[in-house]
Amino acid sequence: MTEPVDRDAETRLDQELLDVDGVASTRPDSVARALHREPLPASARPVVTPWVTYALIAANVIAFGLEVVAGADPMSPTAQKLVEV
């Protein structure tokens, strides 16, 4: 279980954190509000596109395979040989 929150102590701590750089905040509860903010709406969330990552990995594997088929050493290919391919 969590202990009850001491609002006075929390307000003092928030004020100390805001005054670290010498600039007092006009809203002492801004740190607490920032920690307990609402989740972003669906339209503001970043779009996750794992298929781009998978496509890049596949392209890299295909390019490596073509280089090996063209004669590059799979364990230690030289830059010159990769450029030739």
Question: Looking at residue 25, what is its pLDDT?
Answer: 52
> Rounded distance, CA 27 to CA 6, Å?
18
Question: Looking at residue 35, what is its pLDDT?
Answer: 61
Question: Looking at residue 19, what is its pLDDT?
Answer: 60
Residues 8-28 as b/e (b if ≥16 CB within 10 A, e otherwise) read eeeeeebeeebeeeeeeeeeb
Question: Looking at residue 60, what is its pLDDT?
Answer: 94
CB atoms within 10 A of CB 32: 15
0.75 exceeded by the pTM?
no
- Amino acid 13 reads L
Q: What is the mean pLDDT of each run of 10 residues along the chain (85 residues)?
A: 70 69 55 62 75 94 91 85 76
